[in-house]
């Protein structure tokens, strides 16, 4: 009993009249109900990027190290030398996490891991970029946000820890714009030989199509379409759409697929993620320039009486589609059986270009695969800038006690230590974590390849809210700066574009500005974009989220001796600021957290200056004299210095300052001007730093000395003294205290 196709039904599937007309023209007839479902998911934003594809084309995607480009496969692949390559990608699971934080986050991790091993790569580490509304508030949203963060963190831990891929870093930010609409962006990197990249193409007419993994249930029905809608109060009613992750099955699938790919029996492999069986069949056929025919009667099912519509659109987790080389079927079955995985031969590769789905022999779906997968209509949405943000007149800004302001900033959860979070993630499994969570970038030793990789995720959404183009440029610069501080050369980028409803002109304007900013910065840093994900419709009843174009960047550290951490090490070491003291206070966390104002123009990024600062720091690191390097970002110099004092296993103080600074002490301490890195070196190396900076024309400020049990800062003639314990307590325990006690 299938419903008749009415305009109302078409609308409910998120398809416009114009799109429906296109479908009829493509088929030469009316689609049936199942086909309508198939189109609705394939032509949703999540699968087709119909609203953003034109913008995404602006990214630089090529480079000497790029082996698989953005959009070609499930993840981009970069050459790291010595015959080895890495596949990496970031993806969002925002909407499922808003509805059911534990399972939403867990299945997000599972999905990104499958994307990576689908490329033939062994997943080696995870990062995640998380955003929540404030967690210290007493009210309804505070309560909800605490529930969300607990659930998301536990979900990530559940999946990542169980499957045995360490979560070694990332970022967590808090802002009112994420009330009830958290962002969960997960990043995974895997290692493979550069000659052994697996492809998601249904190649070889006559080859068998196998289904392997968990049985199909009614999980996450139409999740891809779900992710492409506003999150309203009604979403509560959508709740059965949430999928349940099974990391144990995920682990078996991971091992079986890697063994399978190594056996040479596989012609093509594709994860069943969003839009499950639908997406994997038409995409593999499209990539292979072939057709695929499957019979739903052969699909392993968990529940009785599932309709073709339900089977095709199910988003049950831990499933793969595998195209097997002819004659290798028995070999493949043996591997599935070894790993105790359900499997079934569900169809074959055909030469007619159709995605043809049978239901126990009778044709249920017959759609040209290439058009379905690749020819969704492309839109250029209306764009209009929102009202300009309120400007800041510093002379009218109340001068508060800077001593207290620093403590307030350290307590702000965006700055405070994330120990409560990363202690729950297994970050040491796979025996390769060299710099664990809590420094500028995580560093991992990939034993197979004998390579040290650094990775980070960055985005200051406060800047992006005030100026998306500048904010996006800074996101890339900051990611590169974090890698530089760890001793790495930046290699490539994956991005996760989180925005509101694109039909709102200001949201689309923000998206375009951010994409152009990212594209420009990626060109300047020589870091191509190799893939990523777009998440639109991030809306809560309060409005759109701040634009959040998260940047995931990886880098390579050629020599183990270059690995550098953010915290001070030895008494008597000299502290330098590479870059200028700066003065820009617009868009700073100081303004927001201390003065309660989300206002002003964010700091400007000067590429030449930024590149020169990073180049100098990398060069100094390579001479072996740099003992610590830390990027100045949210909270400015004062917060960066504090972190250098208290984030190591041994706390150590510093006496620093710039007595000839002219201006307000709060501007000195908390401004967020870009292109600044704090380094420390042994006293005998100080002259070398100074002369080298002068030679290359990079501004340098000798701030002072490491040592003692206080942080003492002279801000233009006024001295401020904090004891280390006074700084450590709010920073270390802020998040722990907000979350340690259960509330309903």
Burial letters 374-398, b for 16+ CB under 10 A, else e: eebeebebebeeeeebeebebeebe
Catalytic amino acids? 46, 93
Residue 507's φ and ψ, nearest 5 degrees, are: -65, -40
Among 394, 429, 601, 721, binds other proteins (CB under 8 A): 429
Q: Which stretch binds other proteins (CB under 8 A): 259-267, 353-361, 362-370, 423-431?
A: 423-431
Residue 604's φ and ψ, nearest 5 degrees, are: -90, 145
744 binds other proteins (CB under 8 A): yes
Among 35, 246, 315, 672, binds other proteins (CB under 8 A): 246
447 binds other proteins (CB under 8 A): yes
184 binds other proteins (CB under 8 A): no
For residue 78, list its beta bridge partners. 66, 86
303 binds other proteins (CB under 8 A): yes
Quote the Cα angle for 549-552-553, to 5°. 130
Q: What x-and-dash track marks residues 81-110 binding other proteins by CB under 8 A?
A: ------------------xx-xx-------
For residue 551, list its beta bridge partners. 458, 495
Q: Which stretch binds other proteins (CB under 8 A): 183-191, 213-221, 354-362, 654-662?
A: 213-221
Looking at beta carbons only, is 297 or 429 nearer to other proteins? 429
163 binds other proteins (CB under 8 A): yes
339 binds other proteins (CB under 8 A): yes
Smallest gap from residue 447 Cβ to other proteins (A): 7
Smallest gap from residue 316 Cβ to other proteins (A): 7
Looking at beta carbons only, is 310 or 610 nearer to other proteins? 310
Looking at beta carbons only, is 192 or 536 nearer to other proteins? 192
Smallest gap from residue 343 Cβ to other proteins (A): 15
564 binds other proteins (CB under 8 A): no
Which DSSP string corresponds to 652-663? --EEEEETT--S
According to DSSP, the β-strands at 291-295 and 208-213 are unpaired
Find how far residue 431's CA is from the centre of its chain: 23
Dihedral sign from CA coordinates of 503, 506, 507, 512: positive
508 binds other proteins (CB under 8 A): no
Q: Which stretch binds other proteins (CB under 8 A): 130-138, 239-247, 361-369, 468-476?
A: 239-247
Which DSSP string corresponds to 425-491? S--STTS-EEE-BTBSSEEEEETTTTEEEEEEEE--HHHHHH-HHHHHHHHHHHHHHHHHHHTPEEE
The helix/strand/coil state of 405 is helix
Residue 79 structure tokens: 């050459």
Rounded CA separation 91/396 (Å)? 43
252 binds other proteins (CB under 8 A): yes
Rounded CA separation 247/156 (Å)? 11
Dihedral sign from CA coordinates of 326, 328, 333, 336: negative
Smallest gap from residue 307 Cβ to other proteins (A): 14
**Residue 732 near residue 423 (C-beta atoms within 8 A):** no
356 binds other proteins (CB under 8 A): no
Longest CA pairwise span in the chain (Å): 85
Among 73, 283, 366, 426, binds other proteins (CB under 8 A): 426
Which DSSP string corresponds to 530-599? EEEEEE---EETTEEPPPEEEEEEEEEESSGGG---SS--STTPEEEEES------TT-HIIIIIT----
Looking at beta carbons only, is 39 or 336 nearer to other proteins? 336
Q: Which stretch binds other proteins (CB under 8 A): 73-81, 169-177, 428-436, 662-670?
A: 428-436
Looking at beta carbons only, is 451 or 609 nearer to other proteins? 451
Looking at beta carbons only, is 316 or 588 nearer to other proteins? 316
Among 67, 407, 434, 625, binds other proteins (CB under 8 A): 434
Smallest gap from residue 305 Cβ to other proteins (A): 12
427 binds other proteins (CB under 8 A): yes
Rounded CA separation 732/509 (Å)? 38
Nearest to 705 by CA among 567, 582, 570, 613: 570
Rounded CA separation 356/655 (Å)? 72
Looking at beta carbons only, is 25 or 744 nearer to other proteins? 744
Smallest gap from residue 342 Cβ to other proteins (A): 10
562 binds other proteins (CB under 8 A): no
Among 108, 133, 217, 600, binds other proteins (CB under 8 A): 217
162 binds other proteins (CB under 8 A): yes
Q: Which stretch binds other proteins (CB under 8 A): 245-253, 357-365, 688-696, 697-705?
A: 245-253
**Element (H or E) spanning 718, and its range?**
strand 718-723
445 binds other proteins (CB under 8 A): yes
- Total site size for other proteins, rule CB under 8 A: 48
Which DSSP string corresponds to 139-168? SHHHHHHHHHHHHHHHHHHHHHHHHT--EE
Q: Which stretch binds other proteins (CB under 8 A): 248-256, 377-385, 463-471, 668-676?
A: 248-256
624 binds other proteins (CB under 8 A): no
Q: How far does the chain reach from its first CA to its final CA, in angstroms?
A: 43
Smallest gap from residue 561 Cβ to other proteins (A): 11
423 binds other proteins (CB under 8 A): yes
Neighbours of 363 (CB within 10 A): 12
249 binds other proteins (CB under 8 A): yes
Rounded CA separation 368/320 (Å)? 22
Among 34, 92, 316, 507, binds other proteins (CB under 8 A): 316
Q: Which stretch binds other proteins (CB under 8 A): 58-66, 161-169, 227-235, 379-387?
A: 161-169
Rounded CA separation 315/310 (Å)? 9
164 binds other proteins (CB under 8 A): yes
Among 157, 335, 578, 620, binds other proteins (CB under 8 A): 157
741 binds other proteins (CB under 8 A): no
Looking at beta carbons only, is 115 or 426 nearer to other proteins? 426
Burial letters 340-352, b for 16+ CB under 10 A, else e: ebbbbbbbbbbee
Site residues, other proteins (CB under 8 A): 99-100, 102-103, 157, 161-164, 214, 217-219, 239-240, 242-249, 251-252, 302-303, 316-317, 339-340, 422-434, 445, 447, 560, 744
């Amino acid at each position: 009993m299938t419903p008749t196709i009415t305009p109302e039904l078409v609308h409910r599937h998120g398809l416009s009249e114009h799109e429906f007309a296109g479908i009829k023209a493509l088929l030469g007839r009316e689609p049936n109900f199942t086909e309508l479902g198939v189109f609705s998911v394939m032509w949703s934003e999540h699968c087709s990027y119909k609203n953003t594809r034109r913008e995404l084309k602006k990214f630089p995607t090529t480079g000497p190290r790029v082996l698989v480009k953005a959009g070609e496969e499930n993840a981009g692949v970069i050459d790291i030398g010595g015959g080895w390559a890495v596949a990496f990608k970031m993806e969002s699971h925002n909407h499922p996490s808003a509805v059911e934080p534990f399972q939403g986050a867990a299945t997000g991790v599972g999905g990104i891991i499958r994307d990576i091993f689908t490329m033939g790569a062994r997943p080696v580490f995870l990062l995640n970029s998380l955003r929540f509304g404030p967690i210290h508030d007493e009210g309804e949203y505070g309560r909800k946000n605490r529930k969300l963060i607990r659930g998301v963190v536990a979900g990530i831990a559940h999946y990542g820890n169980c499957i045995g891929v360490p979560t070694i870093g990332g970022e967590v930010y808090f802002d009112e714009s994420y009330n009830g609409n958290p962002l969960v962006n997960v990043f995974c990197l895997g290692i493979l030989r550069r000659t052994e990249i697996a492809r998601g193409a249904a190649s070889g007419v006559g080859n068998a199509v196998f289904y392997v993994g968990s049985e199909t249930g009614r999980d996450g029905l139409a999740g891809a379409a779900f992710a492409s809608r506003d999150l309203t109060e009604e979403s509560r009613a959508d709740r059965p759409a949430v999928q349940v992750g099974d990391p144990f099955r995920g682990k078996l699938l991971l091992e079986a697929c890697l063994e399978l790919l190594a056996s040479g029996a596989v012609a093509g492999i594709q994860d069943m993620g969003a839009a499950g069986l639908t997406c994997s069949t038409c995409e593999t056929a499209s990539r292979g320039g072939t057709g695929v025919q499957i019979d739903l009667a052969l699909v392993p099912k968990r529940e009785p009486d599932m309709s073709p519509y339900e089977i095709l659109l199910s988003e049950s987790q831990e499933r793969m589609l595998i195209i097997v080389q002819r004659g290798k079927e028995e070999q493949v079955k043996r591997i599935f059986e070894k790993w105790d995985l359900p499997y079934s031969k569900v169809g074959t590769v055909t030469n007619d270009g159709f995605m043809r789905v049978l239901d126990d022999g009778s044709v249920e779906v017959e759609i040209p695969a290439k058009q379905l997968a690749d020819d969704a209509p492309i839109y250029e949405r209306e764009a209009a800038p929102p009202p300009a943000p309120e400007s800041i007149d510093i002379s009218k800004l109340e001068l508060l006690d800077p001593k207290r302001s620093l403590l307030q900033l350290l307590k702000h959860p965006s700055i405070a230590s994330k120990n409560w979070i990363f202690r729950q993630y297994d970050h040491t499994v796979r025996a390769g974590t060299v710099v664990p969570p809590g420094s500028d970038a995580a560093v991992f030793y990939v034993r197979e390849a004998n390579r040290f990789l650094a990775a980070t995720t960055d985005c200051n959404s406060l800047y992006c809210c005030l100026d998306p183009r500048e904010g996006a440029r800074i996101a890339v610069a900051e990611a590169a700066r974090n890698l530089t501080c760890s001793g790495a050369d930046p290699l490539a980028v994956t991005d996760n574009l989180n925005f509101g409803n694109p039909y709102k002109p200001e949201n689309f304007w923000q998206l375009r500005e951010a994409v152009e900013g990212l594209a420009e910065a990626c060109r300047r840093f020589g870091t191509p974009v190799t893939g990523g994900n777009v998440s639109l419709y991030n809306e809560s009843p309060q409005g759109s989220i701040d634009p959040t174009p998260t940047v995931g960047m990886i880098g390579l550290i050629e020599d183990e001796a270059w690995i550098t951490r953010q915290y001070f090490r030895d008494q008597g070491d000299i502290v330098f600021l590479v870059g200028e003291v700066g003065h820009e206070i617009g868009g700073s966390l100081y303004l927001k957290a201390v003065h309660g104002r989300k206002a002003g123009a964010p700091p400007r990024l000067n590429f030449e200056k930024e590149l020169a600062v990073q180049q100098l720091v990398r060069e100094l690191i390579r001479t072996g004299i740099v003992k610590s390097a830390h990027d100045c970002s949210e909270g400015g110099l004062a917060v960066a210095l504090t972190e250098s004092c208290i984030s190591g296993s041994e706390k150590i103080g510093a006496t620093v300052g710039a007595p000839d600074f002219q201006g307000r002490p709060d501007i000195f301490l908390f401004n967020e001007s870009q292109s600044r890195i704090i380094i420390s070196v042994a006293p005998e190396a100080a002259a070398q730093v100074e002369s080298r900076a002068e030679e290359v024309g990079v501004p340098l400020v000798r701030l002072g000395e490491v040592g003692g049990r206080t942080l003492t800062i002279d801000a233009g003639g006024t001295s401020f003294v904090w004891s280390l314990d006074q700084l450590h307590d709010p920073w270390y325990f802020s998040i722990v205290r907000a979350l340690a006690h259960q509330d309903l």
